[in-house]
């Protein structure tokens, strides 16, 4: 189970670097705070398109490299390449050339790099969830996804702390206006190297089941399955178990909340904890950007510890509700926090919600899909419950920010979303599909 998910450690470093630094990078390139959420629309939109296709294709892929592993490797290679380009968006003398929609060429370069980065990370990430569903028995899935959650958060911890670590050892955390600091560039380069090493480890160490063994493990009649016509994605969606839809409803509120966290944490900390700073070229703003990595790392620590607690709950739905409510308290408290160290406590609480989001939805869904030959397709479709709320939150973020009045208020609204998610947990239907 550890080998199955070890590559997730490297993938999550890349995801953490993206989550903690994208708003900082685009603010440095000249984006207005009311524009920041718009940069988060296209990546999840691409995820909605790509993930169901990866699931569908990998369900039908059986070759000497494996079933899910070929997609894992391709996604990792593309992610590594993009991670080397993205932080250099401000170093190509593009920031003075304005194109359209009020964005300069550097921001457009960064935007398209972000699209490819998020897409490739998702292509590399999703096979890990599928392989656990393929190769782990129902009774072990909570443990397997908890191990995956642990490695995920350990990777997040590394990714979040890389910029402040490189600043600490003397790499410049300041740069000319419109240029991303060298500390951030170095973080992306090192993260890319760790990503490919970890993915190669899982690729080499894990041997996926051949079709006959897979069918026996899941109690599938292989001859009957092969004789049946292949189902399209839309037909599968119509036939999806109730668990798919009810867990998806909870996912909607949870991922909208975390989109707000990734988008507005930098501005919130700079303003609340650095004396009202809004100048993105200032040392104080870049210091606040480093501290975002620290508080996100604290969140990862909280998530790691809470992931150890979740299996102790006798009822998985109770664990889900308690986790989301703890996270909601953390978000809401940031409206009143004006000390960077106190902010760490808030993000520690948010980690409980993150731990639940990483483990419990997939435990519930894969148990409901046990023995289903289209598990990869369903997990790909399920990714839409992650992407769609981010798209909606990103598209409406600028308007909501105008109404809310501050970036800190956006985080308090995120807390409200988690409360709604906790309420919706009661509607989850735990159903097995044979």
pLDDT value at 36 more than 80? no
Q: What is the CATH number of domain 2-427?
A: 1.20.1250.20
Mean pLDDT across 215-232: 68
DSSP string for 336-377? T--SHHHHHHHHHHHHHHHHHHHHHHHHHHHHHTTT-TTHHH
pLDDT band at 434; cut points 50, 70, 90: very low
Render pLDDT for 367-392 as a digit per residue (tens, 0 to 9): 888 667 777 788 888 888 888 999 99
Cβ neighbours of 379 (radius 10 Å): 25
Torsion angle of the four alpha carbons 231, 235, 241, 246, in this order, in degrees rounded to the nearest 10? 140
C-alpha–C-alpha distance, residues 250 and 47, integer Å: 19
CA-to-CA separations, 67 to 55, 60, 128, 280, in angstroms, rounded? 10, 8, 11, 46
1 against 259, higher pLDDT: 259
What pLDDT, on the 0 to 100 scale, is given for residue 136? 80
pLDDT at 95 over 80: no
| pTM to 2 decimal places | 0.74
> Can you tell me which residue has the tokens 């909601």?
328
pLDDT, one tens digit per residue, over 16-32 is 898 888 878 888 887 77
The answer to whether 161 and 297 have CB atoms below 8 angstroms apart is yes
DSSP letter for 184, please: H
* pLDDT tens sequence across 265-323: 988 999 999 988 888 778 888 889 889 989 998 998 998 899 889 888 988 899 999 99
For the cut 80, the answer to whether the pLDDT of residue 227 exceeds it is: no
Highest mean pLDDT among 329-333, 398-402, 426-430: 329-333
Max mean pLDDT range (128-142, 350-364, 420-434) = 350-364
CB count in 10 Å sphere of residue 207: 10
Contact between 9 and 198 under an 8 Å Cβ cutoff? The reply is yes
Cα 380 from chain centroid (whole Å): 14
Q: Where are the domains of the chain?
A: 2-427
pLDDT at 223: 66
Rounded-to-integer distance, Cα 218 and Cα 372, Å: 8
Query: In this predicted model, what pLDDT tens digit does every residue of 235-255 receive, in sequence order?
Result: 888 888 889 999 999 999 999
Phi, psi of 203 (to 5 degrees): -60, -40
- DSSP class of residue 232 equals P
Cα gap 236→232, rounded to integer Å: 6
Shortest CA distance to 120 belongs to which of 216, 64, 38, 196?
A: 196
């Amino acid at each position: 189970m550890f080998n199955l998910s070890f590559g997730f450690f490297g993938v999550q470093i890349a995801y953490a670097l993206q989550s903690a630094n994208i708003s900082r990078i685009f603010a440095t390139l000249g984006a207005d705070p009311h524009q920041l959420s718009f940069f988060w629309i296209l990546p999840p939109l691409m995820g909605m398109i790509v993930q169901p296709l990866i699931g569908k294709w990998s369900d039908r892929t059986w070759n000497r490299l494996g079933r899910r592993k070929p997609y894992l490797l391709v996604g990792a290679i593309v992610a590594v390449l993009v991670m080397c380009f993205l932080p250099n968006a401000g170093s190509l003398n593009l920031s003075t050339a304005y194109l359209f929609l009020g964005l300069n060429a550097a921001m457009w370069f960064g935007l398209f790099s972000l699209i490819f980065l998020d897409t490739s990370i998702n292509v590399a990430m999703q096979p890990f969830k599928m392989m656990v569903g393929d190769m782990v028995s129902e009774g072990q899935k909570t443990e397997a996804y908890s191990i995956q959650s642990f490695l995920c958060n350990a990777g997040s911890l590394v990714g979040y702390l890389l910029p402040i670590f490189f600043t600490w050892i003397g790499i410049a955390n300041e740069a000319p206006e419109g240029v991303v600091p060298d500390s951030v560039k170095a973080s992306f380069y090192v993260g890319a190297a760790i990503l490919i090493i970890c993915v190669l480890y899982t690729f080499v160490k894990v041997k996926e089941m051949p079709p006959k063994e897979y069918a026996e493990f899941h109690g599938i009649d292989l001859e009957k399955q092969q004789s049946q016509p292949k189902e399209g994605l839309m037909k599968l969606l119509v036939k999806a178990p109730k668990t798919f839809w009810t867990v998806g409803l909870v996912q909607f509120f949870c991922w909208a909340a975390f989109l707000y966290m990734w988008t507005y944490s930098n501005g919130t900390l700079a303003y609340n904890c650095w004396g009202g700073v809004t100048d993105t070229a200032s040392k104080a703003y870049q210091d606040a950007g480093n501290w975002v990595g620290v508080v996100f790392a604290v969140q990862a620590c909280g998530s790691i510890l809470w992931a150890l607690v979740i299996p102790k709950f006798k009822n998985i739905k109770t664990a889900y509700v308690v986790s989301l409510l703890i996270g909601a308290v953390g978000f809401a408290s940031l409206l009143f926090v004006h000390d960077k160290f106190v902010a760490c406590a808030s993000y520690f609480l948010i980690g409980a919600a993150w731990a639940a989001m990483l483990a419990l939805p997939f435990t519930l869904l894969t148990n409901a899909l046990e023995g289903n030959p289209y598990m990869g397709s369903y997990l790909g479709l399920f990714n839409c419950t992650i992407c769609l709320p981010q798209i909606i939150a990103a598209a409406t973020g600028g308007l909501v920010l105008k109404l809310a009045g501050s970036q800190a208020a956006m985080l308090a609204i995120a807390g409200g979303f988690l409360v709604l998610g906790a309420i919706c947990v009661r509607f989850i239907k735990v159903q097995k599909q044979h």
